[in-house]
A and B are shown apart, each in its own frame.
Chain A
């Protein structure tokens, strides 16, 4: 038999001991006996301390103890599910993790009688063993994953395992990037009442910020400046820079930076991008006035570059160039300007941020606080048994009330006689 809330049984046992102690010290009325010479008995007060401690009203005591134990057992929710045995473990593995790290994590997992593996990115797959997990990881190429999908699949597997085992644990293996969280993650997390063992591992190679793709033009001052910035780790991809607007490749993050011929007249101007400002000789191009977010402006406020978000990336269009002569693109100010204009798309930048530790702690902790996991799920049989026990307790309470009233009435009749 299993008890969902054994604490109630302990409370009932303590209350029973208290009731028994009260019965030991209860006042008792002596039995009436005929004595024709009663008139010669001194008329002293009736109360005397008993020389021996005896249980009074043994029957009533047994009834009251029975009521308390029945109620405690009913509240403890006993179950006789003998089919469940052992422990279960569900391991949810983010497909963007490094496979080598996953192998080490799987080897260190606690042993369980039944283990289920769920590999997820934007979809989930149930794997039968650790080997199938590694196969699944190798097939997944998604750059980001969804914790909501993974937690939902893992919770489903855990509920399925609960039918066969006494307790189920949940392990989450993921880099826990910000992009894997969404608005549904909290609600999905709340479906699992217990805590989750979170194992944070490194991302798989290829999902980290990629290289900056630059044209092969050594005479292009913009390209030269970009190469210098990339070498100085000011740039983080993936980003593709094109200077020849005639050919626009299909890239996740594309910067279209038209090249103006060297005969064009330059003038000293200034470009502002975020907190960066660069002043020098610029070749200004008229703003097409298209859609998109302005990511750089001239000093006079007119747009100097725009970014258009697309489904899986973004496209930036820059409306200026620099003269071929000089080393303006190599100056620190222009390097910073290049870092802004050639940064990854906004979603990608955020996507690669790791979730804060507080978010991870919230994910790991039980939504019910530090309460222990509810091992056995409610079953109709357990509910019926608890209802029967509580019904018996209530019936016994009614009998006790009747017995108490009758005992009081008898005593009252004797006292008035």
Chain B
């Protein structure tokens, strides 16, 4: 359960207000009227359910590094961790996987076994190919919560545009940027770096290029962080070296500052 945007007549008392013409007489507090000889109505916060859509990037870049598929493993752990929190609050969850052969999607649900189903679905996915996330993000219902777990090395701009549209439609959008430690600090040897999603990109790489690579990559990360936040989403970078539980808390903490409400 999470706080609703509207105030209603729920049993839990929130505050008193003088009766005004037009208020529902059934909300009059008769005991207070008897004590104070003044008419007050009882106000309380309404409760509602917020569907949470998890859009998980399963492109080839998420399979890095080989053979552990560290980024995909962290993405799955974060997704399941956040889904567990959402289900614990009673919110239904749904899983959308960005993959050339995506698993069937379901409507958000909160029944027992939903988390296990999500885990089984994610275990069956082998990252590969290159699939745009923007269409998946756009499928989310207005007013829902959307959690995007990706390395944003694909259609980052398109995805961000779709997310901005959701924010405008009163959705909570949370972007989690998954980064591999090996991407931050490549190995100290001469290689020909190949982009798994764009085989035409083959760059020779050695120690002489390390500083320039690091600077360019950091500038890009900073840039997309600013852009996502400017689009109205929360943006949380998580590396494969981070503790997943702490990362989940960071994400929740980042989202708790949002005006849409807290989990």
Within B174-226, the residues touching A (CB, 8 Å) are 180, 182-183, 186, 189-199, 201-206, 208-209, 212-213, 216-217, 220
A53–chain B nearest beta-carbon distance, Å: 14
State whether A37 touches B203 (Cβ < 8 A). no
Bitwise interface map of A from 231 to 255 toward B, beta carbon under 8 Å scored 1, else 0:
0000000000000000000000000
Q: Which of B64, B65, B151, B205 is within 8 Å of A41, CB to CB?
A: B205
Q: Which of A30, A37, A40 is within 8 Å of B192, CB to CB?
A: A30
State whether A35 touches B209 (Cβ < 8 A). no
Interface residues on B, range: 35 or more
B189, B193, B213: which has the most chain A beta carbons within 10 Å? Answer: B193
State whether B212 touches A33 (Cβ < 8 A). no
Q: Which of A35, A40, A45, A50 is within 8 Å of B194, CB to CB?
A: A35
B103–chain A nearest beta-carbon distance, Å: 23
A30, A40, A42, A43: which has the most chain B beta carbons within 10 Å? Answer: A40
State whether B199 touches A38 (Cβ < 8 A). no
Does A356 count as interface, using CB distance less than 8 angstroms?
A: no
Main DSSP-derived SS at the A contact region: loop
Task: List residues of chain A with CB within 8 A of the CB of B197.
Answer: 36
Does A1 count as interface, using CB distance less than 8 angstroms?
A: no
Task: List residues of chain A with CB within 8 A of the CB of B191.
Answer: 30-33, 35
State whether B208 touches A48 (Cβ < 8 A). yes
Task: List residues of chain B with CB within 8 A of the CB of A33.
Answer: 191-194
Expressed in whole angstroms, the Cα–Cα distance for A157 and B190 within the complex equals 72
B218–chain A nearest beta-carbon distance, Å: 9
State whether A48 touches B194 (Cβ < 8 A). no
Expressed in whole angstroms, the Cα–Cα distance for A43 and B197 within the complex equals 18
State whether B194 touches A32 (Cβ < 8 A). yes
State whether B205 touches A35 (Cβ < 8 A). yes
Contact A32/B192 with A37-B183, A38-B203 known, Cβ cut-off 8 Å: yes
A46–chain B nearest beta-carbon distance, Å: 4
Task: List residues of chain A with CB within 8 A of the CB of B66.
Answer: 34
Expressed in whole angstroms, the Cα–Cα distance for A36 and B154 within the complex equals 10
Expressed in whole angstroms, the Cα–Cα distance for A312 and B125 within the complex equals 118
State whether B206 touches A31 (Cβ < 8 A). no
Task: List residues of chain B with CB within 8 A of the CB of A43.
Answer: 203
Expressed in whole angstroms, the Cα–Cα distance for A35 and B196 within the complex equals 7
Within A4-62, the residues touching B (CB, 8 Å) are 29-46, 48, 50
Does B61 count as interface, using CB distance less than 8 angstroms?
A: yes
State whether B186 touches A46 (Cβ < 8 A). no
Expressed in whole angstroms, the Cα–Cα distance for A32 and B205 within the complex equals 10
Contact A31/B192 with A39-B201, A43-B203 known, Cβ cut-off 8 Å: yes
Expressed in whole angstroms, the Cα–Cα distance for A82 and B12 within the complex equals 114
Q: Which of A36, A39, A46 is within 8 Å of B64, CB to CB?
A: A36
State whether B194 touches A38 (Cβ < 8 A). yes
Q: Can you name the residue of chain B whose Cβ is closest to the Cβ of A45?
A: B204
Expressed in whole angstroms, the Cα–Cα distance for A42 and B208 within the complex equals 10
Expressed in whole angstroms, the Cα–Cα distance for A31 and B205 within the complex equals 10
Task: List residues of chain A with CB within 8 A of the CB of B193.
Answer: 33-35, 38, 41
B220–chain A nearest beta-carbon distance, Å: 7
State whether B209 touches A42 (Cβ < 8 A). yes
State whether A417 touches B209 (Cβ < 8 A). no
Does B33 count as interface, using CB distance less than 8 angstroms?
A: no
Expressed in whole angstroms, the Cα–Cα distance for A41 and B192 within the complex equals 10
Contact A30/B190 with A35-B64, A36-B151 known, Cβ cut-off 8 Å: yes
State whether B204 touches A30 (Cβ < 8 A). yes
A29, A34, A35, A46: which has the most chain B beta carbons within 10 Å? Answer: A35
Q: Can you name the residue of chain A whose Cβ is closest to the Cβ of B180?
A: A36
Expressed in whole angstroms, the Cα–Cα distance for A35 and B193 within the complex equals 5
Q: Which of A30, A38, A44 is within 8 Å of B195, CB to CB?
A: A38
Q: Can you name the residue of chain B whose Cβ is closest to the Cβ of A30?
A: B190
Does B153 count as interface, using CB distance less than 8 angstroms?
A: yes
Expressed in whole angstroms, the Cα–Cα distance for A100 and B65 within the complex equals 100
State whether B61 touches A41 (Cβ < 8 A). no
Task: List residues of chain B with CB within 8 A of the CB of A31.
Answer: 191-192
State whether B202 touches A38 (Cβ < 8 A). yes
State whether A41 touches B196 (Cβ < 8 A). no
Q: Can you name the residue of chain B whose Cβ is closest to the Cβ of A41?
A: B203
Task: List residues of chain A with CB within 8 A of the CB of B201.
Answer: 38-39
Contact A34/B194 with A40-B217, A40-B220, A41-B209 known, Cβ cut-off 8 Å: yes
State whether B217 touches A37 (Cβ < 8 A). yes
Q: Can you name the residue of chain A whose Cβ is closest to the Cβ of B214?
A: A40
B215–chain A nearest beta-carbon distance, Å: 9
Within A128-157, the residues touching B (CB, 8 Å) are none
Bitwise interface map of B from 4 to 36 toward A, beta carbon under 8 Å scored 1, else 0:
000000000000000000000000000000000
Contact A36/B183 with A41-B193, A42-B216, A44-B209 known, Cβ cut-off 8 Å: yes
State whether B204 touches A46 (Cβ < 8 A). yes
Can you list 5 A-B contacts (CB < 8 A)?
A: A31-B192, A36-B153, A37-B153, A41-B204, A42-B216
Closest A-B pairs by Cβ, 7 of them: A36-B61, A41-B203, A35-B193, A38-B193, A46-B204, A38-B195, A40-B216
Known: A32-B194, A35-B64. 8 other contacts (CB 8 A): A31-B192, A34-B66, A34-B194, A36-B151, A36-B180, A40-B213, A42-B213, A48-B206
Q: Which B residues contact A (CB, under 8 angstroms)?
A: 60-61, 64-66, 151, 153, 180, 182-183, 186, 189-199, 201-206, 208-209, 212-213, 216-217, 220
